[in-house]
Amino acid sequence: MDKEQRAFNVLLVDDEDVFREATARQLTVRGFIVHTAASGKEAIAQVHANPPEVVVLDQQMPGMHGSETFIEIKKIDPLIEVIMLTGNTSVDNAIELMQLGTFDYLMKPINIEELLYKIEDAYTRKQLNEKQQRESTL
């Protein structure tokens, strides 16, 4: 995907200011329209106000945990794709989140190129799911 094709909304949710801001800059430079949230509650408000195509969501956050935030996002719009990030997790937790419908699960520190590919793949899957939904209602 070139920069013009990447012009879709990505919501980056992480309570670590430095990580969130640096990653948002890197994604913006690569052509994504990036919005950020520092908490699960803030993310839910943004999903209501300006639904993104893809959410990159930290698992370990104070207050509303990443898993809870993920479930709420899917209640608002089941077609939004969510990529979970974490610094430490169990295999069981990762499997559980994948079964619930997360697009993918990446460990921190992230490789920005890998994240780019995951976001693009998630966006492609969202487009396919939306097309299937439209066709099934015809």
pLDDT in tens, the chain (138 residues): 666 667 899 999 999 999 999 999 999 999 999 999 999 999 999 999 999 999 999 988 999 989 899 999 999 999 999 999 987 766 677 777 778 889 998 988 899 999 999 999 999 999 999 999 999 987
Nearest to 54 by CA among 120, 136, 132: 120
Question: Does 3-136 carry CATH code 3.40.50.2300?
Answer: yes
15 and 58 in contact (C-beta within 8 Å)? yes
HSE, side-chain direction, 13 A CA sphere, residue 124: 8
Reading the block at residue 11, the tokens are: 């919501």
pTM of the entire predicted model: 0.93
